[in-house]
């Protein structure tokens, strides 16, 4: 039998208005839920409850959804990332930081605990966790109480640096394939977890670190298993120029060519579409391609603002 909880006389509530088909603000009302179902929103609930919470200082909202999160790394970058932009890499600190500073498994586990706690305290109840797996990851996510989309990362290559202005790659396709297989197994394990709150997301890490074959196979798995797919794309000026050098196409256009852009796909960041003023590119097609393919973008503006990088209007010129 599910427990019934009442948040009594909540100061503010973001409630669904079925008639208006939108959320509205309501004041000084009771919110009642039983199990995973909201059963009452209104004044003076008179039914039986197992627990009553004083809502006089509460703003009750639907749980927030974080579509792009790296809980096993980002807590460790606090105090580093905020000040870390590399001018010779168009102010992105991504590559230098990723190469120079990696947590071991114990550190990743501790970082995840911190991140899950902070998300819950901020009202996030669902998260796409883009991480490199570690022993106990699935059980830790289940214990957190979050509804989690487990996204174990894999790639065909790793970045490495020999100077402060050029990104290079160490390619190892067999290792990428092995990580792909492990990711599939881990997603299957998560989806069988008795909590019922875990599911999988196919996550080839970056558009520039995965081979075309690995990406095509990732799309096929996502399609055949009805899972979402996420990947970092258009996240830096460096990446944009690297992909143009490789393929003569922008990252978004190349992704479209190989079938990566689908309604199941959500891109990490998508800042540097071809209309961005930092790129001085000519095509002005990326935004239209995303719309045509039904692909979503998890923008994540805050870390880019720290670099002085902002999303811009990328609509085609009239």
SS3 annotation, the chain:
CCCEEEEEEEEEEEEEECCCCEEEEEEEEEEEEECCEEEEEECCCCCCCCEEEECCCCEECCCEEEEEECCCCHHHHCCCHHHCCCHHHCCCCHHHHHHHCCCCHHHHHHHHHHHHHHHHHCCEEEEEEEECCCCCHHHHHHHHCCEEEEEEEECCEEEEECCCCCEEEEECHHHHHHHHHHHHHHHHHHHCCCCCCEEECEEECECCCCCHHHHHHHHHHHHHHCCCEEEEECCCHHHHHHHHHHHCCCHHHHHHHCCCCCCCEEEEECCCCCCCCCCCCCCCCHHHHHHHHCCEEECCHHHHHHCCCCCCCCCCCC
Q: What is the pLDDT of residue 318?
A: 47
In a domain, 318, yes or no: no
Q: Is residue 177 domain-resident?
A: yes
Same domain, 47 and 97: no
Asked whether residue 312 is domain-assigned, the answer is no
Q: What residue numbers bound the domain in which 13 lies?
A: 4-60
168 plus 299 within the same structural domain: yes
Q: Are residues 126 and 21 in the same domain?
A: no
Segment 148-157, tens digit of pLDDT: 999 999 999 9
pLDDT digits (tens, 9 = 90+) for 127-156: 999 999 899 999 999 999 999 999 999 999
Q: How confident is the model at residue 79 (pLDDT cuts 50, 70, 90)?
A: confident
Residues 47 and 176 in one domain: no
Question: For residue 80, what pLDDT band results from cuts at 50, 70 and 90?
Answer: confident
Last residue of a domain, one of 17, 39, 60: 60
Residue 90 within any structural domain of the chain: yes
The reply to whether 16 and 131 lie within a common domain is no
pTM of the model: 0.91
- Say if residue 281 is in the same domain as residue 223: yes
Final residue in a domain of this structure, among 35, 60, 85? 60
Domain count, the chain: 2
* 127 and 204 assigned to the same domain: yes
**What rounded mean pLDDT belongs to the chain?**
94
Within this chain, do residues 30 and 73 fall inside the same structural domain, yes or no?
no
């Amino acid at each position: 039998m599910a427990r019934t909880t009442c948040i009594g006389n909540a100061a503010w509530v973001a409630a669904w208005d079925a008639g208006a088909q939108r959320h509205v603000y309501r004041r000084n009302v009771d919110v009642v839920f039983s199990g995973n179902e909201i059963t009452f929103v209104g004044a003076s609930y008179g039914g039986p409850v197992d627990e009553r919470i004083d809502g006089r200082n509460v703003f009750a909202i639907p749980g927030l959804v974080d579509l792009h999160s790296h809980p096993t790394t980002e807590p460790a970058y606090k105090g580093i990332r905020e000040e870390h932009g590399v001018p010779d890499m168009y102010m992105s600190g991504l590559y230098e930081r990723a190469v120079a500073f990696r947590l071991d498994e114990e550190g990743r586990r501790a970082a995840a605990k911190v991140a899950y706690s902070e998300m819950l305290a901020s009202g996030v109840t669902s998260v796409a966790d883009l991480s490199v797996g570690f022993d106990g990851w699935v059980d830790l996510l289940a214990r957190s109480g979050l509804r989690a989309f487990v996204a174990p990362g894999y790639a065909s290559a790793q970045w490495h640096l020999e100077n402060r202005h050029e990104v290079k790659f160490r390619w190892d396709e067999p290792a990428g394939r092995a990580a792909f297989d492990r990711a599939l197994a881990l997603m299957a394990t998560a989806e069988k977890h008795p909590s019922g709150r875990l599911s999988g997301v196919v996550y080839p890490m970056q558009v520039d670190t995965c081979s075309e074959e690995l990406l095509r196979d990732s799309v096929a798995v996502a399609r055949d298993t009805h899972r979402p797919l996420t990947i970092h794309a258009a996240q830096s000026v460096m990446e944009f120029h690297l992909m143009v050098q490789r393929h003569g196409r922008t990252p978004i256009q190349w992704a479209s060519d190989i079938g990566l852009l689908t309604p199941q796909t959500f891109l990490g960041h998508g800042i540097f579409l071809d209309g961005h003023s930092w790129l001085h590119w000519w095509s002005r097609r990326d935004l239209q391609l995303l719309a045509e393919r039904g692909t979503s973008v998890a923008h994540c503006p805050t870390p880019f603002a720290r670099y002085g990088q902002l999303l811009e209007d990328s609509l085609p010129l009239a």
